[in-house]
């Protein structure tokens, strides 16, 4: 299985941060349909600080790097997004331990740990119409591709595209769901008919990683 470098992980995190900032308006508009409309703003402000502090982060190991990112997000992202996204990065770091040469299975482990952390912190699960409804199917698809073997399982670009496709399909599917957690849940059946902003954010970020992976530094 082809290994990736510390720089590849940093590229993914940097891309996620840049995507959050660039799509602030879109994410706010989605959240405003049944929420308070501040999701995109909160996420963008936190990830702006991640980008501003980028060169100061500990890079002794990939886990140490992710822990620093988690700390910034936890402290600087407003609303419920800070604790959830901060927990996701912190759990991803814990899943790596001291490993430095990362594989597709490490990516699956990080995403799986992130999802479990969000479940616990947000008291939510698959089917509640949250970002988990994109994150978990994306992780499942990535795991299946990695475990399948063959050339595609050793190609990070192909794996990134698989993850992005699964995330988009799953995020679109939240349109027909009723929100059971967070502010959108207060609207009851009115939450049906629009996709979850967090799930869409996961899909957009995954698509951006897949689109730009071949041109990464």
Q: For 55-64, how does the pLDDT look when each residue is reduced to its tens digit (9 = 90+)?
A: 999 999 999 9
* CATH architecture of residue range(s) 6-215: Alpha Horseshoe (1.25)
Q: For 4-33, how does the pLDDT look when each residue is reduced to its tens digit (9 = 90+)?
A: 678 999 999 999 999 999 999 999 999 999
Q: Which residue in 45, 44, 52 sits closest to 68, CA to CA?
A: 52
Q: Which of 1-5, 24-28, 120-124 is predicted with the least confidence, judged by mean pLDDT?
A: 1-5
* pTM metric for this prediction: 0.94
**Which residues lie below 8 Å from residue 16, measured CB to CB, with a gap of 6+?**
47, 205, 208, 209
Which DSSP state fits 178?
P
How many helices (H) does the chain have, and how many strands (E)?
Answer: 9, 0
Q: Which residue in 30, 20, 39, 15 sits closest to 174, CA to CA?
A: 30
Chain position carrying tokens 């990830």:
47
């Amino acid at each position: 299985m082809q290994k990736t470098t510390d720089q590849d992980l940093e590229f993914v995190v940097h891309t996620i941060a840049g995507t959050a900032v660039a799509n602030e308006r879109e994410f706010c508009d989605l959240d405003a349909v049944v929420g308070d409309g501040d999701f995109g703003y909160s996420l963008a402000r936190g990830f702006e600080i991640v980008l501003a502090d980028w060169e100061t982060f500990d890079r002794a190991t990939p886990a140490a790097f992710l822990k620093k990112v988690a700390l910034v997000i936890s402290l600087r992202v407003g609303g419920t997004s800070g604790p959830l996204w901060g927990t996701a990065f912190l759990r991803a770091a814990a899943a790596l331990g001291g490993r430095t040469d990362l594989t597709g299975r490490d990516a699956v482990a990080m995403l799986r740990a992130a999802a479990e952390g969000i479940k616990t912190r947000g008291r939510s699960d698959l089917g509640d119409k949250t970002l988990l409804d994109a994150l978990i199917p994306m992780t499942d698809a990535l795991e299946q591709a990695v475990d399948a073997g063959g050339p595609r399982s050793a190609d990070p670009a192909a794996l990134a595209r698989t993850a992005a496709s699964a995330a988009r399909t799953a995020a679109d599917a939240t349109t027909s769901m009723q929100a059971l957690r967070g502010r959108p849940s207060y609207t009851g059946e009115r939450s049906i008919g629009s996709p979850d902003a967090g799930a869409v954010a996961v899909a957009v970020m995954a698509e951006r990683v897949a689109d730009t992976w071949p041109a990464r530094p």
